[in-house]
Amino acid sequence: MEDFLQRFSLKGKTAWITGASYGLGLAYATAYAQSGAKIVFNDIKQELVDRGLEEYKKLGIDAYGAVCDVTKEDQVQEFVKKAEAEKGPIDILVNNAGIIKRIPMHEMSVEDWQMVVDIDLTGPFICSKAVLPGMMERRSGKIINACSMMSEFGRETVSAYAAAKGGLKMLTRNICSEYGQYNIQCNAIGPGYIATPQTRPLREKQPDGSMHPFDRFIRSKTPAQRWGRTEDLMGLAVFLASPASDFINGQVVYIDGGISAYIGQDPGNLDPSKFADEIEDDADVKKEG
Ligand code: NAP
Ligand code: GCO
């Protein structure tokens, strides 16, 4: 029998992670590079791509990066053509790019709703459609979608995001159903609450120095009583991109510190002195609330 651990290797593969200048995308790309893959990534503006290239260079990763808006099919098709010319056929796609808008639904504009759905749901459709023909021809491919707790649960102010991430769960299942016959696996990572720029507004200290109410709330719902760290997700990302997961298809794998299994406790019972330290990368990246 082959060396079992080789099944977790990405040696000789090319991985495209969308929106990977920082945050979870940067973590996935770093894990993939350290597992042997070549890296291509896009982001929405040149300054982010430049930031990403700088980060990858510091990590010793020779990545290809370019500006590409995942909601624009012409930009995506052009990106794939150039990226594959640089780094070879794309074997692994991680539909990571995403945004959230936290606005009460009755106050949310159609434009804001549409922007979230376009990026978080239509973007993965457009990017997956761009790489599927090559994967079908080679009879091999991995598509990994960025689902969320909001693929299963709702909460106030995130209607567009929850609808998009719920839809992304079903798109994951449908790509599995339609392309499994070509040895293409489509699964999703379902992170809990992870310390990145996207969630920083939910953790920031109050003007009086006290904990953000949501910070206290989410720790009372997490058995580990801590936010996730980007490195907590790297192992699962590599597993779902590797031959070791070839018989897993159409699944959302939740990596949430136990939130989805736990009814939670009274936030007032928490003892902040017992909290594990938060490690938040990308502190220079600012995000709206
Ligand atoms: P993030 O910090 O906001 O990073 C998302 C990246 O995608 C940013 O670089 C962003 O650029 C880029 N992007 C946005 N719109 C784009 C577009 N149209 N085309 C190309 N790139 C675009 O998010 P994150 O926390 O790393 O999360 C990454 C993914 O995981 C997202 O899909 C998110 O919904 C999902 N997720 C996150 C968590 C969490 O707790 N952090 C949990 C579950 C799921 P800008 O800087 O311009 O926005
Ligand atoms: C929010 C958060 C969440 C996380 C993540 C949870 O406002 O509730 O931003 O949506 O980003 O999706 O899994």
From the number of C-beta atoms within 10 Å of its C-beta (0-12, 13-18, 19+), residue 1 rates as exposed
Is 286 a domain residue?
A: no
- Helix, strand or coil, per DSSP, at residue 103: coil
CATH number at residue 51: 3.40.50.720
Atom of ligand 2 nearest to the CA of 102: 7
User: Which residue of 102, 120, 147, 158 sits with most ligand 2 atoms within 8 Å of its CB, as the best mutation to test the pocket?
Assistant: 158
Is 277 a domain residue?
A: no
22 as an active site residue: the answer is: no
Is 148 a domain residue?
A: yes
Backbone angles phi, psi at 187, to 5 degrees: -130, 175
From the number of C-beta atoms within 10 Å of its C-beta (0-12, 13-18, 19+), residue 160 rates as buried
Backbone angles phi, psi at 109, to 5 degrees: -75, 155
Place of tokens 């590079």: 33
Query: Range of 102's domain?
Result: 8-192+227-257
Is 45 a domain residue?
A: yes
Is 215 a domain residue?
A: no
Ligand 2 centroid distance, CA of 148 (Å): 7
Is 218 a domain residue?
A: no
Is 268 a domain residue?
A: no
pLDDT by residue, tens only, the chain of 289 residues: 778 999 999 999 999 999 999 999 999 999 999 999 999 999 999 999 999 999 999 999 999 999 999 999 999 999 999 999 999 999 999 999 999 999 999 999 999 999 999 999 999 999 999 999 999 999 999 999 999 999 999 999 999 999 999 999 999 999 999 999 999 999 999 999 999 999 999 998 899 988 899 999 999 999 999 999 999 999 999 999 999 999 999 999 999 999 999 999 999 999 988 888 766 667 778 776 6
Domain count, the chain: 1
Whether pTM > 0.85 for this model: the answer is yes
Atom of ligand 2 nearest to the CA of 148: 13
Q: Please give the distance of CA 76 from its chain centroid, rounded to a whole number.
A: 18
Is 265 a domain residue?
A: no
200 lines ligand 2 (CB under 6 A): no
